[in-house]
Structure 1
């Protein structure tokens, strides 16, 4: 999943440390920069990749009507 939030980073910034997540400190839970847009397509592709590595076949994906996550899952090459 894409995650912009890092509670440890927020706590460190509150204590006066200069922290720029992700990668700004050990144990950061953020994996994309705070100003990066969230992409349903990229999230779907990431989920599809993880499932493909486990040899899980996805026949149907239920999404909301305007989502692009199913396209991301579909575009994963097995």
Structure 2
């Protein structure tokens, strides 16, 4: 329904890709499941993907929590500039 509303109220006709974000996006295999039902590429949001991460940070835990930290990371980055 959300995509239907988006397309009906905008000039866009296609979706290039879908980014899953929030705590639910960390469910293992969710991106693959969504991808199976759509023809659009699906990826899980990770705001830390291109960041340099300190050696004391548990990178596995950070990657697991990354989709839920998208907004907080954006706000922190905005405040850092």
Q: Same fold (TM over 0.5)?
A: no
Which structure has greater strand proportion? 2
Larger RCO of the pair (alpha carbons < 8 Å, separation 6+)? 2
TM-score of Structure 1 vs Structure 2, range by shorter chain:
0.3 to 0.5
Structure with higher Rg: it is: 1
- More helix, by proportion: 2
User: With structure 2 as the length reference, what TM-score do the two structures score?
Assistant: 0.33
